């Protein structure tokens, strides 16, 4: 059995290591991440995790793990911050409000069966001043991230309330991932 991580995220690799799992191969899935018309955030996150798992090449008997982290404000799916202008807008939207961090994980077992789980974490940010947003954007850590922030970095100081999976907000919900891997017999450390 070859264990394939369908993600080039160093955070997902680090989180997997906390379970005692080291991928035999890391592959970058290439999928269209555009939300479908009217698609709800939970459905979107689960669909992307499964699509990423199916997007990488695998041989019979291989196990594939993929994940997706989606930030939702109500029914609205927030994009990743692909530039500083978008990041400022996202942080202003999240300022002083609760949002959902939906972290989906998909495992394809050795027989080709896909199993998914979702962690829904409620995160509330303090009200952010323009200066705080400017300083955070200038540090660069939130670029490319869902919602424009990285909770494992400086943005953790913005969180006044969190209910759910901290590891899920980072990028891989460990409780759900452990359950999926144990269910298919992947040895954990």
Catalytic residue IDs: 68
The CA distance from 128 to 19, in Å, is: 35
Q: What residues contact residue 145 under an 8 Å CB cut-off, 6+ apart? A: 80, 81
Q: What residues contact residue 165 under an 8 Å CB cut-off, 6+ apart? A: 103, 119, 121, 173, 174, 175, 176
Q: What residues contact residue 185 under an 8 Å CB cut-off, 6+ apart? A: none
Other Cβ atoms less than 10 A from the Cβ of 109: the count is 19
Q: How many CA atoms lie within 13 A of 112 on its CB side?
A: 4
Which residues partner with 119 through β-bridges?
A: 103
């Amino acid at each position: 059995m070859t264990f394939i991580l369908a993600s080039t995220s160093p955070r997902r690799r680090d989180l997997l290591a906390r379970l005692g799992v080291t991928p035999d191969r890391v592959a970058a899935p290439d999928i269209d991440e555009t939300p479908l018309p009217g698609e709800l955030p939970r459905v979107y996150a689960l669909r992307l995790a499964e699509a990423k798992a199916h997007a990488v090449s695998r041989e019979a008997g291989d196990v594939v793990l993929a994940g997706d982290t989606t930030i939702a404000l109500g029914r609205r799916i927030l994009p990743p911050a692909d530039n500083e202008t978008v990041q400022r807008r996202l942080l202003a939207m999240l300022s002083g409000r609760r949002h959902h961090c939906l972290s989906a994980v998909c495992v394809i077992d050795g027989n080709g069966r896909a199993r998914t789980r979702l962690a829904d974490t409620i995160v509330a940010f303090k009200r952010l001043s323009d200066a705080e947003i400017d300083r955070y954007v200038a540090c660069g850590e939130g670029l490319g991230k869902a919602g424009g922030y990285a909770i494992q970095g400086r943005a953790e100081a913005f969180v006044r309330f969190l209910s759910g999976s901290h590891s899920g907000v980072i990028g891989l919900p460990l409780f759900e991932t452990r359950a999926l891997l144990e269910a298919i017999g992947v040895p954990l450390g």
